[in-house]
Amino acid sequence: MRRKIVAGNWKMNGSKDLSEKLVGSIRSEAGTLDKGVEVVIIPPAIYIGDVLVQAENALSVGVQNVGRWQSGAYTGEISAGMARDAGCRYVLVGHSERRQIFGETDELVAEKVSLVVSSGLTAIVCVGETLEERESGQAEAVVAAQVRAGLASVPAGKWHDIVVAYEPVWAIGTGKTATSDDAQAMHAAVRKVLKDMGAPSESISLLYGGSVKADNAAALFSEPDIDGGLIGGASLVAKEFMCICRSFPVGAEN
């Protein structure tokens, strides 16, 4: 049975006050969620300690990015080992903003994935196409290539430390969302690529990220290959985020 995961990516937002109030509210309601739904909070690295205090082991915590090295003279970088030492369980790798703004390539994503899983953390590996790529009919080929390249170095025994998040770039922060049918089609395609790579595809959780809201989460999460969501702006509002966390079909198993 695949893990059901709702991960809140705060991006470059937050404060000590937000960490206390928002995470406290989410934690207080986490016990009312269906069994098997894992809630992950991914704040800016500087607030990880504050979030961990508020999470009280009821929530998982992740980091938005790590460097390509485990240590050294790389001012401003943090390593996967440091993230684990701080108490994180998850690392976002290859988010579209890292790819577009900071020029991260599939090869760099693969390097980071290897470091993350070798450090005992789970990598949430982000893939997705631009609007131009979708409109030109290349969406599936682009995403498949990102999956193959980004996960090329995953050791056979480490696939349980991989989560894939499909985030159509054209839907991130725009208010646009792929239809549940379109999202399911891409998730099914990703699962097929994983199978072709020799991965245990039916046990790997696939998340949808792209303007997920309380009013569209249920339709998305009801699809057979969508195991949860990578949530952006809506993760900064406790009520909406928890509505999303409650949007899985009752008693559904993947």
- Positions marked catalytic: 95, 167
Tokens 């131009």: give the residue: 132
- For residue 8, list its beta bridge partners: 41, 231
Distance CA 181, CA 220 (A): 8
Q: Angle, nearest 10°, between helix axes 106-118 and 139-150? A: 40
Q: Which residues, other chains included, contact 29 with Cβ-Cβ below 8 Å and sequence gap of 6+?
A: 238, 242
Q: Dihedral of CA 252/41/167/142: which sign?
A: negative
The SS3 assignment for 208 reads strand
Closest CA to 98 of 71, 68, 135: 68
* Structural contact between residues 63 and 83, judged by C-beta atoms closer than 8 angstroms: yes
- For residue 93, list its beta bridge partners: 125
Q: How are beta strands 4-9 and 122-127 bridged, if at all?
A: unpaired
Distance CA 86, CA 203 (A): 28
Q: Please report how many Cα atoms fall inside a 13 Å half-sphere around the Cα of residue 176, on the Cβ side.
A: 11
